[in-house]
Amino acid sequence: MTKWLLAVTLVLMALPSSTVAQSKPLVLASQGSFFVGGESKTSKELTSSTTGPGAGETGDVTVNQMYVQYQTPVNGSQHAPVVMVHGCCLSSKTWETTPDGRMGWNEYFVRKGHSVYLADQSSRARSGFDATKINAVKLGQVPPSELPNIFMVSHQASWVVFRFGPTFNTAFPDEQFPVQAADELYKQMIPDLNAFLPTPNPTWTNMAALAVQLKGAVLMGHSESGFFPEQAALIDPTGVKGIVTIETGCTTTLKPEELSRLAKIPILIMFGDHLGDITGPFGSFWTTGFDNCTKFVQQVNDAGGDAQMMYLPKMGIKGNSHMLMQDKNNLQLADLILGWIDEHVERKKTAHHK
Amino acid sequence: MTKWLLAVTLVLMALPSSTVAQSKPLVLASQGSFFVGGESKTSKELTSSTTGPGAGETGDVTVNQMYVQYQTPVNGSQHAPVVMVHGCCLSSKTWETTPDGRMGWNEYFVRKGHSVYLADQSSRARSGFDATKINAVKLGQVPPSELPNIFMVSHQASWVVFRFGPTFNTAFPDEQFPVQAADELYKQMIPDLNAFLPTPNPTWTNMAALAVQLKGAVLMGHSESGFFPEQAALIDPTGVKGIVTIETGCTTTLKPEELSRLAKIPILIMFGDHLGDITGPFGSFWTTGFDNCTKFVQQVNDAGGDAQMMYLPKMGIKGNSHMLMQDKNNLQLADLILGWIDEHVERKKTAHHK
């Protein structure tokens, strides 16, 4: 045992045993952050101010890059890396500490032996966005009508669309989202600038490139990004070893050659509860999404694939919201995904995780 | 030794010794993320689209919150927590893996026994911003002239203002920034929306509140945020146990009662090299900033305080850029700060760090 190992051991032994029992220290082989993709673009509207820094300057900025933060456990090479991509009006905060302060999927997957890569979608959060158009409008160079849409979700809409309950501030009796901490979720909700992006969405390309860079990874998407893993695989399937699609609207109009490409990749789709129990403008949103995803699963399997729908209520798991990774039973759901990765991606017959 | 400790030890011992020697595993007591501050605001411009989700809806969004990500080492309670806040057109990525892939200050400070809290400034990155005004302009409700400025820094301006060299793509002979990886820095540079914020800047208030929440912390700012720790302490000094100001323009017009408030807190200011060696619109930017900070240090000390200027070239440390925390000698500079915290904040006579 090296001097350092001895030191760590002594420090750990010096902790009150209750502390250790409550939450074991997290041991990482490495962690860090980097970007995938991004290209230079010349901008003449670095600022909308007509004086001071940047005024009147023409210069280059980098756009469409994707920020990625990762952690690798000491035994990480034994399991497939998992890339997690958040949904609309959210950032990678989605996967971290839950609104009521419990462990997020990011840390849980690491503790279960997987390297985890959290990506902020291109044009969101630490990935930045291209403000050129907004400044050009302020400077009077282009009309306001050219502004791309920016989308914010209200507390009121979130509550219902995320299926915390039938109407704002009323929860379903068996609701799994920690509704008393809803205010903490609202702080995570940030403007969505995806309408600023070119086609195809650079996040798709960047996810495909990241999977190649990792020499194989499971891509996971949620809601707005739920079908991004499939889109990434359609761009370049080389690194995509598995796909986890959580609560989204699936595409059912893929061509046969596209379906046969996806049929080579194990696909898991997960949906929570109360899909048809909300009213208002989003009343049929989730039932339609679920029906399309059910059809997509069938299409992939008809093409010889390995696609599976985990519809939680059908499995006896009740009350889950749209924010499955933050629900009170989030680690139970994580175990379902980890077990699926074991069986379908890592091709193990038994689902043992360390 | 518990079963778990034995398991960790065996895993560590099973690693090739070269791996362990190159980078020891990082052992965390805990990690996570949360928000400080934030208030509800009613918005009628949740979207600029006239159809679809959010169109015509009035609802509440949360604004001015500050996203914070933290890591606590197993022996973290022995040392003061450190809050790091990034500068203009950047996010907390500033403090993480350097553009050329070396360890950032975030991890290094944790490895040296400090809990580290990385905060995205309010209105930046994962803290989100209020897009109401932009959507209102698109909808024709307010004129474009009401748009607050958004500021982007070009590659060309960054190179010179960050003092990589005298002109774009030419480096100073002794330059410490890893200029071959400048493209990776450019990917970190994202639009700055601080002009969207109310007065006083919510980041100041949130930093002060975070320090209280942590029951005492060292606040560190850089560049745009370099004087934010002082501003936070002027709002509420209760939790501010030390201030580290890195390369900024200091205020020299504080009132006597403000100076005497700051005089109760140890203050370290650090500046790099080549302050006067750039030309163009920013030619005198750093020399002016340095002169003002030198004067501020004197003012605080005249008021009975403990303020110190570390001007690196004067200490024989040459070639440092504005991005000190990413420079090739970044860990050497971190050691200077850690030593200062030991001596001036933790009141130790000798500067031993584990």
Q: Residues of A with CB below 8 A from B147's CB? A: 48, 134, 137-138
Question: How many CB pairs below 8 Å do chains A and B form together?
Answer: 275
pLDDT tens digit sequence for A74-112: 987 889 999 999 999 999 999 999 999 999 999 999 999
Q: Are B245 and B293 in contact (CB under 8 A)?
A: yes
CB contact under 8 Å between B30 and A9, yes or no, is no
CA triplet B55, B57, B60: central angle to 5 degrees?
Answer: 125
Could you tell me which of A121, A81, A113, A311 has the C-alpha nearest to residue A219? A81
Q: Which of B46, B71, B106, B159 should we substitute to test contact with A (largest number of A Cβ atoms within 10 Å)?
A: B46
| Contact (Cβ atoms closer than 8 angstroms) between residue B136 and residue B142 | yes
Q: Quick one: what percent of chain B has pLDDT higher than 70?
A: 92
Q: Going by DSSP bridges, is the β-strand pair A59-63/A39-43 parallel, antiparallel, or unpaired?
A: antiparallel
Give A20's contacts in chain B (Cβ within 8 Å). Answer: 2, 4
CA-nearest residue of chain B to A44?
A: B154
Confidence of residue A347 (pLDDT cuts 50, 70, 90): confident
Distance CA(A171)–CA(B336), nearest Å, equals: 53
Model confidence at B257, in pLDDT bands (50, 70, 90)? very high
Note the residue count of chain A.
Answer: 354
CA separation, residue A350 to residues A338, A341, A353, B309 (Å): 12, 11, 9, 61
pLDDT band at B247 (very low <50, low <70, confident <90, very high): very high
What is the mean pLDDT of the segment spanning A245-265?
Answer: 98
Provide CB contacts within 8 A for B37, sequence distance 6+.
Answer: B64, B65, B66, B122, B202, B205, B206, B209
Question: How far is B38 from B46, CA to CA, in rounded Å?
Answer: 17
Q: Please judge whether A59 and B156 are an interchain contact, meaning their C-beta atoms are less than 8 angstroms apart.
A: yes
Cβ contact (<8 Å) for A151 and B126?
A: no
Torsion of CA A77, A80, A83, A84, to 10 degrees: -110
Cα atoms found within 13 Å of the Cα of residue A58, Cβ hemisphere only: 1
pLDDT per residue as tens digits for the range A187-219: 999 999 999 999 999 999 999 999 999 999 999
pLDDT in tens, A289-328: 999 999 999 999 999 999 999 999 999 999 999 999 999 9
- Looking at every residue in chain B, the average pLDDT score rounds to 92
User: Looking at the partner chain, which of B24, B53, B58 has a beta carbon nearest the beta carbon of A281?
Assistant: B53
Alpha helix positions (H), B66-218:
105-111, 132-138, 155-161, 182-188, 202-213
Which residue among B13, B47, B74 places its CB closest to the CB of A151?
Answer: B47
Which residues does chain B have within 8 Å of residue A194's beta carbon, measured at their own beta carbons? none
- Locate B133 and state its tokens: 């005004």
Q: Which residue has the tokens 């939790």?
A: B239
Token pair belonging to B58: 């009035």
The one-character DSSP state at B343 is: I
In whole angstroms, give the CA distance from residue A160 to residue A163.
5
What's the mean per-residue pLDDT of chain A? 92
Per-residue pLDDT, averaged over B136-161, amounts to: 96
> Residue A283 — pLDDT band, cuts 50, 70, 90?
confident
Structure tokens belonging to residue B92:
């907390």
Rounded Cα distance between B119 and B126, Å, is 9
Q: Which of B273, B271, B267 is nearest to B319 (CA)?
A: B273
Instruction: Tell me if A27 and B25 make a contact (CB, 8 A cut-off).
Output: yes
- Nearest by CB to A60, from B126, B129, B155: name it: B155
B263-272: average pLDDT: 98
Q: What average pLDDT does the segment A327-343 reach? A: 98
Residue B258 distance to chain A (closest CA, Å)? 29
- State the Cα–Cα distance between residues A64 and A130, nearest whole angstrom: 8
Confidence of residue B14 (pLDDT cuts 50, 70, 90): very low
What is the distance in angstroms between the Cα of B6 and the nearest Cα belonging to chain A?
A: 9
Nearest to A5 among B12, B65, B128 (CB): B12
Residue B106 has pLDDT above 70, yes or no: yes
- Give the amino acid at B115: S
- How far is CA A15 from each of CA A18, A103, A284, B115, B220, rounded to the nearest angstrom? 8, 21, 52, 17, 29
* Residue B299 distance to chain A (closest CA, Å): 29
Contact state of A25 with B20 under an 8 Å Cβ cutoff: no
Secondary structure string (H, E, C) spanning chain A: CCHHHHHHHHHHHHCCHHHHHHCCCEEEEEEEEEEECCEEEEECCCCCCCCCCCCCCCEEEEECCEEEEEEEECCHHHCCCEEEECCCCCCHHHHCCCCCCCCCHHHHHHHCCCCEEEEECCCCHHHCCCCHHHHHHHCCCCCHHHCCCCECCCHHHHHHHCCCCCECCECCCCCCCCHHHHHHHHHHCCCECHHHCCCCCHHHHHHHHHHHHCCCEEEEEEHHHCCHHHHHHHHCCCCEEEEEEECCCCCCCCCHHHHHHHCCCCEEEEECCCCCCCCCCCCCHHHHHHHHHHHHHHHHHHCCCCEEEEEHHHHCCCCCCCCHHHCCCHHHHHHHHHHHHHHHHCCCCCCCCC
Neighbours of A41 (CB within 10 A): 13
Give this prediction's pTM.
0.92
Parallel, antiparallel, or unpaired: how do β-strands A66-73 and B66-73 relate?
Answer: unpaired
* Per-residue confidence (pLDDT) for residue A238, from 0 to 100: 98
Please compute the mean of the pLDDT values over residues A158-172 and round it to a whole number. Answer: 97
Which pLDDT belongs to residue A348? 53
Q: Tell me whether residues B134 and A125 touch, CB distance under 8 A.
A: no
Closest CA to A186 of A150, A165, A162: A162
Q: How far apart are the first and last CA of chain B?
A: 23
DSSP state of B170: B
Within a 13 Å sphere around the CA of B353, how many CA atoms are in the beta-carbon half? Answer: 21
